[in-house]
Amino acid sequence: MIRRIIHIDQDKCNGCGACAKACHEGAIAMVDGKAQLIRDDYCDGLGDCLPTCPTGAITFVEREAAPYDEAAVKANMAAKAAPSPCACPGSMARALTPQADAAAPTPSASQLRQWPVQIKLAPVNAPYFQGAHLLIAADCTAYAYAGFHQDFIRGKVTLIGCPKLDMVDYTEKLTAILRDNDITALTIVRMEVPCCGGIQHAATQALKDSGKFIPWQVVTISTDGRILD
| Alpha helices (H) along 82-196 | 141-144, 148, 163-166, 171-180
pLDDT tens digits, residue range 67-78? 999 888 888 777
Is 189 in the same domain as 97?
A: yes
Q: CA 97, CA 110: separation in Å to the nearest integer?
A: 9
Residue 211 maps to a domain: yes
37 near 59, Cβ under 8 Å?
no
Helix axes 171-180, 197-210, angle to 10 degrees: 40
Residue 228 maps to a domain: no
Is 135 in the same domain as 60?
A: no
Is 205 in the same domain as 142?
A: yes
6 near 44, Cβ under 8 Å?
no
Percent over 70 (pLDDT), the chain: 90
Q: Flag the least confident range among 30-39, 94-103, 193-202.
A: 94-103
Boundary-marking domain end, from 39, 57, 81: 81
User: How far from each other are the two terminal CA atoms of the chain, in whole angstroms?
Assistant: 72
DSSP structural state of residue 33: T
pLDDT tens digits, residue range 32-87? 889 999 999 999 988 889 888 999 999 999 999 999 998 888 887 776 665 545 45
16 or 229, greater pLDDT: 16
Is 70 in the same domain as 93?
A: no
Is 116 in the same domain as 213?
A: yes
90 band by pLDDT with thresholds 50, 70 and 90:
low
209 near 171, Cβ under 8 Å?
yes
- Sign of the CA dihedral 171, 173, 176, 182? negative
Tally of domains in the chain? 2
Is 146 in the same domain as 178?
A: yes
Residue 229 maps to a domain: no
pLDDT at 108: 74
pLDDT at 82: 54
CATH of the domain at 100: 3.40.50
Q: In what order do the strands lie in the sheet with 157-161?
A: 157-161, 133-138, 185-191, 216-221
Residue 226 maps to a domain: no
Residue type, position 52, single letter: T
Is 144 in the same domain as 203?
A: yes
Is 109 in the same domain as 75?
A: no
Domain with 13 in it:
2-81
Is 107 in the same domain as 196?
A: yes
Is 68 in the same domain as 151?
A: no
The torsion defined by the Cα of 35, 39, 43 and 49, in degrees rounded to 10, comes to -10
Boundary-marking domain end, from 81, 116, 142: 81
Is 9 in the same domain as 77?
A: yes
| Cβ-based neighbour number of residue 7 at 10 Å | 12
Is 193 in the same domain as 98?
A: yes
pLDDT at 165: 84
66 near 41, Cβ under 8 Å?
yes
193 near 223, Cβ under 8 Å?
yes
143 near 194, Cβ under 8 Å?
no
Percent over 90 (pLDDT), the chain: 59
Residue 202 maps to a domain: yes
CATH of the domain at 71: 3.30.70.20
Boundary-marking domain end, from 81, 115, 148: 81
